[in-house]
């Protein structure tokens, strides 16, 4: 059987990215053989989907871990994640955690970056630093930097994160840094509205937790606090915190302040509800 | 084979019509019951996929990590660009790639110690295991594309998004993977 120059069209037709003339196929033995071969392979492979017995025990074990760790508060997650990571390291070796390794141009500084979830990032070697730009998602970074090596700076939408010889995770979502967890070493955060903060091994920085801290709201720069979503969140959290502390007067004052600044705010209806008891005639 | 049969070759696995959109929204709000439902719907398929891609030993850990990642990233899921199933397979595929990259060094070290070339293992039980054994001999990148296309039934466009590679790369890898599989299976009587 001689080869047919239209053989590639058979595979293209199978994949739905092209059409093969049925008249040609009905008369070309080579194309018929190619189609038969592709069909047999396709059937063999698709049969693998049901060939493996489902490992119910493995599914149950993983289910328990997923449900117990995936949605608990971040602070609790950290230790469970570390336990999972430790198990992975034991099973697969130190290299098993490495998703993507890029050696820096200068041999002294080494960066291992792991995409832990939909990370969009780039790396750029500059004269004085290795600049990583993370615009979205979760990235784990392991930096090995000798004394004279280039510093690694992570540029996030709302600031920078400088490593101080470390392993850390950065979560960026909705155009802002949501979370930084440090496994080893330390990092220095310079994020809009939060000043400069150092986070050390075992510690965890969370935007939401920072906003909820007593006193943190008043420390927000006025210009940013007034105009940004952070400012609105902060004003809302002040209302909630006052309610939780049982201070209805402070809550009402905070609510009025929120509505004055954000009359069409995201939480305006909830905040108005705080004021309704006061509005009722005595 | 008749001409009309060729039109039937491309088969899609049954895609459950479910309320993944509502589930994903609930997971983003932190509802564990929704995560349990999502897990029960998709974990068996993902475990099978991970087992074929990296072997039984690591598959459980990969599925577990994939769902934890999915729960954390649920708020980023956009149902318009990918189904929840495709999105979960994409996350799992990324973890598979991570594991393969990491283990490839170890594998290369082991292969360097081998005195004879490796051979395809034959099974007395028939073609199915021969196909499975041949699959294991494909380069990792090609195997991943072939499994996603032929075993799991994803389209080239879906695979392109999952693996973050150009569509033409998907077709090229798929073509070479098929050719390699056919050669491997022909060599294995």
Lowest mean pLDDT among A260-269, B18-27, B104-113: B104-113
Q: What is the pLDDT of residue A113?
A: 77
Mean pLDDT of chain B: 76
CA separation for the pair A119, A129 (Å, rounded) = 21
Give the pLDDT band of residue B105 (cuts 50, 70, 90). Answer: low
Closest CA to A149 of A135, A165, A133: A165
Q: Chain A within 8 Å of B169 (Cβ-Cβ)?
A: no
Residue with tokens 């994160």: A161
A121-147: pLDDT as tens digits:
888 887 778 888 888 878 888 888 777
Give the phi and the psi of residue B51 in degrees, each rounded to 5.
-65, -45
Per CB-CB distance under 8 Å, the chain A contacts of B58 are: 91-92
Q: What is the pLDDT of residue B43?
A: 92
Mean pLDDT of chain A: 75
Q: What is the pLDDT of residue A62?
A: 87
pLDDT > 70: percent of chain A: 74
Of B4, B35, B178, the CB nearest to A66: B35
Q: Which residue of B has its CA nearest to A37?
A: B182
Per CB-CB distance under 8 Å, the chain B contacts of A67 are: 32, 35-36, 39
Per CB-CB distance under 8 Å, the chain A contacts of B171 are: 15, 17
Q: Which residue of A has its CA nearest to B49?
A: A49
State whether B11 and A42 contact (CB < 8 Å): yes
Shortest distance between the Cα of B117 and any Cα of chain A, in A, equals: 24
pLDDT at A274 over 90: no
Q: What is the pLDDT of residue B189?
A: 47
Q: What is the pLDDT of residue B172?
A: 93
pLDDT at A98 over 50: no
Across B37-52, average pLDDT? 89
A225-250: pLDDT as tens digits:
444 556 777 788 888 877 777 778 88
> What's CA A104's distance to the chain center, in Å?
23
pLDDT at B120 over 50: no
Of A61, A88, A118, the CB nearest to B73: A118
Q: What is the pLDDT of residue A275?
A: 80
pTM of the model: 0.47
Q: What is the pLDDT of residue B176?
A: 94
User: B15 or A208: whose pLDDT is higher?
Assistant: A208
Q: Which of A92-96, B47-51, B109-113 has the highest mean pLDDT?
A: B47-51
User: B48 or A213: whose pLDDT is higher?
Assistant: B48
Q: What is the 3-state secondary structure (H, E, C) of B120-148?
A: CCCCCCCHHHHHHHHHHCCCHHHHHHHHH
Give the pLDDT band of residue B104 (cuts 50, 70, 90). Answer: low
Calculate the alpha carbon distances from B36 to A65, A80, A143, B66 in Å.
Answer: 11, 18, 36, 14
Residue with tokens 């989907």: A49
Q: What is the pLDDT of residue B178?
A: 94
pLDDT > 70: percent of chain B: 72
Give the pLDDT band of residue B171 (cuts 50, 70, 90). Answer: very high
| Contact predicate A185/A164, CB 8 Å | yes
State whether B68 and A25 contact (CB < 8 Å): no
Q: What is the pLDDT of residue A151?
A: 81
| Contact predicate A87/A62, CB 8 Å | no
Query: Dihedral (C-alpha) A265, A271, A272, A273: value to the nearest 10 degrees?
Result: 140
Q: Chain A within 8 Å of B11 (Cβ-Cβ)?
A: yes
Across A37-43, average pLDDT? 86
Q: Chain A within 8 Å of B34 (Cβ-Cβ)?
A: no
pLDDT > 90: percent of chain B: 17
């Amino acid at each position: 059987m001689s080869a047919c120059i239209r053989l590639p069209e058979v595979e293209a037709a199978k994949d739905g990215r092209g059409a093969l003339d049925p008249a040609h196929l009905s008369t070309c033995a080579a194309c018929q053989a190619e189609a038969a071969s592709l069909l047999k392979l396709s059937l063999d492979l698709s049969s693998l989907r049901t060939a493996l017995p489902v490992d119910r025990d493995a599914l149950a074990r993983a289910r328990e871990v997923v449900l117990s760790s995936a949605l608990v508060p971040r602070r609790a997650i950290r230790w469970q994640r570390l336990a999972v990571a430790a198990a992975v390291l034991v099973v697969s070796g130190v290299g098993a955690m490495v998703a993507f390794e890029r050696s820096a141009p200068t041999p002294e500084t080494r960066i291992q970056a792991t995409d832990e979830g939909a990370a969009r990032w780039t790396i750029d070697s500059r004269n004085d630093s290795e600049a990583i730009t993370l615009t979205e998602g979760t990235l784990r970074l392991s930096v090995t930097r000798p004394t004279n090596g280039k510093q690694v700076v992570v540029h996030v939408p709302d600031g920078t994160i400088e490593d101080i010889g470390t392993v850390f995770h950065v979560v960026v979502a909705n155009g802002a840094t949501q979370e930084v967890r440090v496994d080893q070493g330390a990092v220095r955060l310079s994020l809009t509205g939060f000043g400069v903060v150092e986070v050390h091994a075992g510690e965890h920085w969370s935007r939401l937790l920072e906003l909820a801290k007593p006193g943190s709201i008043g420390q927000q720069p006025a210009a940013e606090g007034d105009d940004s979503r952070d400012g609105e969140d902060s004003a809302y959290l002040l209302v909630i915190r006052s309610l939780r502390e049982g201070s209805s007067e402070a809550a009402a004052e905070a609510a009025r302040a929120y509505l004055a600044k954000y009359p069409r705010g995201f939480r305006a209806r909830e905040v108005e509800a705080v004021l309704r008891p006061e509005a009722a005639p005595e | 084979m008749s001409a009309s049969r060729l039109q039937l070759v491309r088969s899609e696995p049954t895609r459950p019509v479910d309320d993944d959109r509502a589930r994903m929204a609930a997971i983003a709000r932190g509802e564990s019951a929704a995560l349990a439902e999502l897990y029960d719907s998709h974990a068996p398929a993902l475990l099978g996929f991970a087992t074929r891609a990296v072997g039984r030993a690591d598959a459980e850990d990969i599925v577990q990590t994939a769902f934890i990642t999915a729960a954390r990233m649920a708020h980023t899921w956009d149902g318009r660009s990918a189904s929840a199933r495709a999105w979960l397979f994409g996350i799992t595929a990324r973890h598979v790639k991570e594991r393969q990259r990491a283990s490839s060094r170890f594998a290369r070290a082991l292969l360097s110690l081998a005195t004879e070339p490796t051979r395809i293992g034959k099974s007395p039980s028939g073609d199915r295991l021969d196909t499975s054994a041949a699959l294991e001999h494909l380069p990792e990148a090609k195997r991943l594309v072939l499994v996603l296309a032929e075993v799991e039934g994803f389209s080239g466009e879906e695979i392109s998004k999952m693996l973050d590679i150009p569509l033409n790369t998907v077709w090229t890898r798929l073509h070479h993977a098929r050719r390699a599989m056919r050669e491997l299976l022909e060599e294995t009587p």
